[in-house]
Amino acid sequence: MANKRMAGVVAGLMASTLLLAGCSAASTTDSGTPSGTITVLTNRTDIVNTTFKKYAADFEKIYPKVTVKFQAITDYEGEVKTRLNTKNYGDVLLIPNTVTRKQLPQFFDSLGSVATMKKTYRFVDEQSYNGKDYGVAITGNAQGLVYNKKVWTAAGITTLPKTPDEFISDLKAIKEKTSATPYYTNYKDGWPLSQWEGNRGILGDTNVSNKLVTQNAPWSKGQYHYIEDSLLYNIVSDKLSETDPLTTNWENSKALLGGGKVATMLLGSWAITQMQQAAVTAGGSASDIAYMPFPYQANGTFYSTIGGDYKNAISKYSTHKAAARAWIDWFAAKSNYAFDNGGISPLLSGKAPATLTDFTAAGVKYIELAAPPTKNASLEPDIANAAEIDLFGNVYRQKLIDIARGAAPGSMSSYFAQLNKEWATAKSQVSS
C-alpha cells in the first residue's frame, strides 16, 4: 500500500516554495441536492478496488444523483504536490503534508467555522486557519510502538518500559534471548522515520509545538527532540536494529514483525491492524501484536499524542461541491473506515477502537496538541525550512542513523549541537 502517515500530528509541515507558484484560485460552487460525478483522490492503493468500491456503492444509494470515482496514488505526497500547481486535483482529496495553514484557503474550500465544526468532529484545529476549518480527518491515531508481544514475552519481558534506558535494556534482552531483530527502522523507505516526530505529547504538554518555535536549542536534555532522537541513536549504535538499513522494505517489514522476525517498530496506531493481518498471514494470531506507549513518563504517567490522519478536503476548483461535501460527511459518519482500521473516530460520538485497549490497561492519557496562533501559523515550517531540518521528513533522521552506525562522521552530541545551531540561526532569520 502507499505510505499511510499520520497527518494530524504533522499539520503545519514544511512548505514547498515551488508549491506557491501560480496558485491563485477562484471558487466555483454548486447548490441544491448533491449531484454530478466527483473524483476522490486517495493514498489507499491497496483497497481502492475493493473496500472503496463498496463505499461508493453505499454512498450512491443515499445520493443517487452522485457518481463517485477514485484515483489511487502511490506517491501521494509527490504527485499531489505537483498537481496543486494546476486546477486538476480532483473534487475531494487528502490535504498533502506540504500545504501550510496559510495556504489552505488557496487550494480548498472552508467546511465551516472551527467553533461549529468542533461540535461534531475531533482534530478540527489541525487543518484550520483564521478561524475556519478546511478538512475532516479520515481517522485518528494515537502514537506509540507496535510490537510482537510473543517475542517480547519470549525474552522474559513482562512489564512496559517506562524510560528510554529500560527500553534499550528490553531490546538487548530480545537480541540475547530470541532470534528476532529487536527494532526495525524502515530507513530505506524513509517516511516511517517521520513517525518519531508524532510523539511530541510524551511530555504531557499541549503547547509543546508552540514552545518549539521559541527555543534556540531543541536538541538539549529534557527537550522532546533530545529524548526521542537520542533513543533512536542509541538503538542503532547499540546494534539493536537491522544489520543493513539500506535494504529495509516497508511492505516486507509488516511480514517480519507479524511473523516474529522483528520485535518492534515505532509507528502510529494505524499500523496495528496491518501488523495483526500480517501475523495471521504468517500463521500466528492477531493477539501476537500489541501496542505500547513511548517509553517515557511525565510525572508517572504515559502520554500519547492523538491526532487526525489525512484530512478530506474540497478542491477550490470542484464544480460539484455539494456532492463533495456530502461525501466527506458520509465518509466520516457512515463508512466505518476509522473503526475498521483501528483508528480513533473523527466524530466526537464515534466508537472507540478495540486496538487501543493496551493503552487503557497502561493508563495512557491522550493529548491533542494546541494549534498555533494565527500570527504564527507557519512559523514552525518556516524555521524548519530555513534550517533545512525536515522534522516530518526522513533526511535528518537518516543522517542520525548513519552517524550512529558509523556510516557518517560525527557523534550524537556533535550532531545535536549542529542541529541546535542551525535551528537557532534559522529562528533568528525568520523572526527578524
The whole-angstrom separation of Cα 322 and Cα 69 is: 16
In a domain, 8, yes or no: no
What is the pLDDT, as a whole number, of residue 342? Answer: 84
Contact 178, 155 (CB under 8 A): yes
Q: How far is CA 132 from CA 67, 108, 347, in A?
A: 28, 11, 18
Query: Both 239 and 106 in a single domain?
Result: no
Residues 428 and 341 in one domain: no
Tell me, yes or no, whether 245 and 349 share the same domain: no
Q: For the chain, give the number of residues.
A: 432
Q: How far is Cα 281 from Cα 235, in angstroms, rounded to an integer?
A: 28
Final residue in a domain of this structure, among 331, 362, 393: 362
CA 385, CA 13: separation in Å to the nearest integer? 10
* Residue 7 pLDDT: 40
Residue 4 falls inside a structural domain: no
- Residue numbers of the domain that contains 114: 17-141+308-362
pLDDT at 266: 98
* 170 and 36, same domain (yes or no): no
Are residues 71 and 167 both part of a single domain? no
Are 185 and 249 contained in the same domain?
Answer: yes
Is residue 11 a part of any domain in this protein?
no
Residue that finishes a domain, picked among 338, 362, 386:
362
Model pTM? 0.79
- Residue 377: predicted pLDDT: 83
Same-domain status, 130 and 178: no
The domain tally of the chain equals 2
Extract the residue ranges of the chain whose pLDDT is less than 50. Answer: 1-29
The contacts of residue 215 (CB under 8 Å, 6+ apart) are 223, 423, 427
Of residues 118, 124, 93, the one with CA closest to residue 107: 93
Residues 332 and 413 in one domain: no
The answer to whether 196 and 217 are in contact (CB under 8 A) is: no
Q: Which of 347, 362, 377 is the last residue of a domain?
A: 362
- Does 225 reside within a domain? yes
Residues 318 and 286 in one domain: no
pLDDT number for residue 75? 87
Q: Are 318 and 324 in contact (CB under 8 A)?
A: yes
pLDDT value at residue 30: 55
Name every residue whose Cβ is closer than 8 Å to that of residue 216 and which is 6 or more positions away in sequence. 420, 423, 424, 427
Q: Is residue 12 part of a domain?
A: no
Nearest residue to 106 (alpha-carbon basis) of 78, 134, 72: 134
Same domain, 353 and 371: no
Residue 74 pLDDT: 87
Asked if 262 contacts 254 with a C-beta cutoff of 8 angstroms, the reply is no
Does any domain span residue 7? no
Q: Which value, to the nearest 10 degrees, does the dihedral of the CA atoms of residues 192, 194, 199, 203 take?
A: 140
Cell numbers given for 44: 489507499
Whether 357 and 373 share a structural domain: no
Give the closest residue to 292 by CA, choosing from 96, 430, 157: 157
Task: Answer whether residue 6 is part of any domain.
Answer: no
Instruction: Please name which of 40, 91, 12 lies closest in space to residue 314, comparing C-alpha atoms.
Output: 91
Work out the number of other CB atoms within 10 angstroms of the CB of residue 368: 18
Q: Given the DSSP bridges, would you call strands 92-94 and 311-314 parallel, antiparallel or unpaired? A: antiparallel
Task: Indicate whether 422 belongs to any domain.
Answer: yes
CATH number for the domain including 320?
3.40.190.10
Same domain as 253, residue 124: no
Question: Residues of the chain with pLDDT > 70: what percent?
Answer: 92
Q: How far apart are CA 355 and CA 370, in angstroms?
A: 25
